[in-house]
Structure 1
Amino acid sequence: MSRLVLAIDTATPAVTAGVVRVDGDRIEVLAEEVTVDARAHAERLTPNVVAAMRAAGTEMNLLDAVVVGCGPGPFTGLRVGMATAASFGHALGIPVRGVCSLDAIAVGTTGNVLVVTDARRREVYWARYRDGARVGGPAVNAAADVPAGADAVAGSPEHAALFDLPRLAPVYPSAAGLVGAVADWEGEPEPLIPLYLRRPDAKPQAVVR
C-alpha cells in the first residue's frame, strides 16, 4: 500500500520537514526542507512544511500519515515539532506516529554504531545500534560516561568528535530516516510521548508560607 507521509523533526538544531512516499519497503523522498538553527524551531517549522509540500507538488489533504521525531531533545524545541505534528494529524484526521530521533539517524547503518546528539550541559543524548536496530539507550550522559563497545559514531559532528571512533555520515534526523524508523504502519499509533530524559531547566518557585 502506497502512503504519502509528512515527516517532521525538531529534536536537534535541524528543523526538518519532508514529504515521503512509502510503498512497502520502498521509501522515496519527494521533497525535504532543513534549516539548521537551534533557536528557530518555532519560526522555521511551518514554512519548511509549506515549502516541502510545494516542492513535492502535493497538498495537505492528500497526506496519509505524519511521522514526528519524539527526541530525545531539549524541551522547547522538541515540543514545537510534536505539537505541530499532532495538530496536522487532528486537522486532517490521519495517524501521527512518533519515533525516536536517534533511531532516525541510525536507519541504514551497519555494524555496532553509537549515535549522539547535543544534550547541552556538557552532555550528550545517545543510543547504540546493531545494524540499525537499537540495543542500548536512549539516555543522557557526559561523553566520558557513555558505555563503550561501538565501532563507529554518527550524529552531531562536534559531539561525535568526542569519541575516538570512525565517523559515519548521518548527522541529523532526515525525512527518509524518520519514515524508515517506523516499525508498524498498520497498527493503532502509540500516544506521542516526548523523550526529554530529564526535567526542564525552568523550575517552579517554592511556595513560602
Structure 2
Amino acid sequence: MRPTTWPRVAAGLAARLVDHPLADDAAYLSLGIDSPDAAAPGELAAAIAAELRPLGHAAFIVPTRGFLRSASIRFEYGKRDPDAYLDLWTDDAALFREVFNPLLKTGSGEVLPDLLDPVTNRATRSPYVALEPGTIVIVHGPALLKHWFPFDLTVHVQLSDAAFLRRTPEAEHWQLDAFRRYREEYAPHDAADVVIRADDPKRPAWSA
C-alpha cells in the first residue's frame, strides 16, 4: 500500500480504464467501486468521471442505493439485521437486467439509473439513458464483490472497524457486523483489482 491523494487515485483509475481492452462480448466498460457509504464512494465516482472527460470518455454513474429491494424484503427480519443487509438488500437481478445486460454487444445500450426510491419505497420511474459510444459505467455501493457482477475493473475501499464507526452515523453502526462477515467470507481485499485504504479521509493509500 502506497500513500497517495484522492486526485491521484481518480486520475490513475481513469487512465487505467481508458487503456483497458473491451471484453469480446461487451460494448462498454464498467467499473465497480466496492465501498461502505462512510467512505463516500459517490465522490470518488464523480472524481473519476471528471478525469475521464478530457480523455474523451463520458461516464455514467449508478449508485446501488437505487437498486435496493422493496422494504418488505429488506426488512423481513427487522430494519437492523446484518445478514439481511448483506444478502437481501441489493436487487442483483434488477442490476443485471437494467445496467449490465445493456452493456453487452447484443444489448440496447440503454441503462436505467435507478429503480426504487429506498426512502419512499416507490418506483422512481426514471427514464432509460442511451449511452454514447465509449461511455464508462461506474457502479458504486457496499459489498459489490459478493454479487459476481461482470465488472471490467474493481476497486475495494477499505475501512478499519474504528474508522467505519467514526464515519458512520450511530444509528447505522449495526452494519459493521455485515461488513465484518463480508470481509471474512468474500475477502474483497483479495478479489479487487485495486484496494484503497481510506481510514484517514484526507490521506488514502492504495495498491495500484
Q: Same fold (TM over 0.5)?
A: no
Higher RCO (CA 8 Å, separation ≥ 6 residues): 2
TM-score, normalised relative to structure 1 = 0.28
- Which protein is richer in helix relative to its size? 2
- Which protein is richer in strand relative to its size? 1
